[in-house]
Amino acid sequence: MSSPFRKLGVLYVAATPALAGVSMFDFRIGGFNYTGFVWVAQLLAGLYLLSMILLTGRRQLDLTPWYPWFAWLGYLWLSLLWTTELDGKNVQDAMQYTMPIVVGIIAATSIRTAGELKLVFASFVFALVGVALYTVLYVNEIFDHQWLETHVRSAALTTTVMGCVFLAAFPHRWVLPLAGWGACVAITTLTSSRMATLALLAAFILHPLVKALQWKVAAVAACALIGLGLFYTPTFQKHFFAGGSGSIGDVASGKVDDLGRLDAWTQAWDQAVETPLLGKGVGSIHDFVDTIWEDTNQIHNDYLRLFYEVGLAGLAIYLAVAGWQLLALRKRISETSGLARTALAGSYLGLCALLITCLTDNTITYNLFYTDPLFALLGAAYGLLAAERSRDEVLADAEALATRQWRLEAARRQPHYQGAITSNNLPVHRGIRFGNQ
């Protein structure tokens, strides 16, 4: 019996990508950006829904695909014990790391049909419309530019995961996947998002369904040409170089405008090596960045951030879990077909893009804009596969029962039937004798 809350879970999951696409504006509530209230409310609603689905339904929840992520989260929350100045920011960061896993489990519990998975895909299309509208307003400065600029990074990261989802349907389909991916590349270009654009180009090369060597070579060549052309656009030239222009050689020699990243990274590294094994605790880097970098408390490098906060142990656990997830996805993609395979491919590409953008961004904690939609898609694929496997098992059991009943009835009709079926009176069906030959 299906839980009456399962349909609410479907709506919750389907709304997750759409919510990312309409959360680009800077509205304040009590001095805090409204997006903080949105994801906290989403987390609480998700926990309530998950508990109700489990309490009111008869289907057991398979948590096996999530065990490695539980190990990561367990260590992360444990690091609060050795955080020197524990406050709300530390707990908030731990909650932001946790949120995508909650969304993924709800998706795996709620999504049961291809139609429900299509609803999740449709939500990504809706999100693209929202981000495209934001980009038009941002580029044309229709409203106050500074007000719009607050979430330009969020818009770029949301666009990145959307581009991966569109691209996942390639090469089974060509027009819509390439059009959607191209639109996302255009948005990251117009918003001068260098690493997001690189991740989208790399996704084409890393596509798990593009396996033939000639296709890989063609993908590398095409993306290299696209990347070179985008590099010389005015928007990227201004973002790469303080003087407004430069060459690939200048990038290779380090003559780029890093916006203060390199100096901040060096100072953060010097602090991190003081506690290399366990780190200083989740969320602890914010207070340090406040002292070295103006107008931000983010280090803009998730790997350095993890080393600083949870040490080599935490960084190794995270990389191991992410690597395991990529391998598990590749295996499932090779064993699956149809819409579920597209969702798995989109999850694979989204995780690859996340690991790339983590080099210069804080993608892991952009849960509302990146990891929540990504894990919604991943969990939805798991949910559909589990439902299909369950239906196959039910059909197999029904077929086996029908076969046993037919054999018994056929045996009873034989003239020599003595009230028991033995190896001598088992019937022959379609030329196959049942029992020992």
Tell the burial category of 282 from Cβ atoms under 10 Å away from its Cβ (0-12, 13-18, 19+). buried
Query: What pLDDT is stored for residue 325 in this prediction?
Result: 98
For 73-111, write each residue's pLDDT tens digit.
999 999 999 998 899 899 999 999 999 999 999 999 999
- Asked if residue 242 has pLDDT above 70, the reply is yes
Query: Which of 128-132, 169-173, 407-411 bottoms out in mean pLDDT, i.e. has the lowest?
Result: 407-411
Query: What pLDDT is stored for residue 61 in this prediction?
Result: 74
Please, which pLDDT band fits residue 150 given cuts at 50, 70 and 90?
confident
Q: What is the spatial distance between Cα 103 and Cα 84, in angstroms, rounded to a whole number?
A: 30
- Asked if residue 307 has pLDDT above 60, the reply is yes
Residue linked to tokens 């690939």: 248
Query: What pLDDT is stored for residue 193 in this prediction?
Result: 95
- Asked if residue 222 has pLDDT above 80, the reply is yes
Percentage of residues in the chain having pLDDT higher than 70:
89
- Asked if residue 399 has pLDDT above 80, the reply is no
Query: What pLDDT is stored for residue 394 in this prediction?
Result: 57
For 333-368, write each residue's pLDDT tens digit.
999 999 999 999 999 999 999 999 999 999 999 999
Whole-model pTM: value is 0.89
For 364-378, write each residue's pLDDT tens digit.
999 999 999 999 999
Query: What pLDDT is stored for residue 15 in this prediction?
Result: 96
Q: Give the CA distances from residue 414 to residues 68, 404, 432, in Å, rounded to whole numbers and listed in that order.
A: 57, 16, 16
Q: What is the spatial distance between Cα 301 and Cα 291, in angstroms, rounded to a whole number?
A: 17
- By residue count, the chain amounts to 437
Query: What pLDDT is stored for residue 430 in this prediction?
Result: 46
Which two tokens mark 282?
């989740």
Query: What pLDDT is stored for residue 254 in this prediction?
Result: 86
- Asked if residue 1 has pLDDT above 60, the reply is no
Query: What pLDDT is stored for residue 151 in this prediction?
Result: 85
Q: What is the spatial distance between Cα 115 and Cα 197, in angstroms, rounded to a whole number?
A: 31
Please, which pLDDT band fits residue 56 given cuts at 50, 70 and 90?
confident
Percentage of residues in the chain having pLDDT higher than 90:
68
- Cβ(141)–Cβ(415) below 8 Å: no
For 136, residues 6+ apart whose C-beta sits below 8 A from its C-beta are 142
- Cβ(15)–Cβ(125) below 8 Å: no
For 259-275, write each residue's pLDDT tens digit.
889 999 999 999 999 99
Query: Which of 30-39, 165-174, 214-223, 406-415 bottoms out in mean pLDDT, i.e. has the lowest?
Result: 406-415
The amino acid present at 45, given as its one-letter code, is A
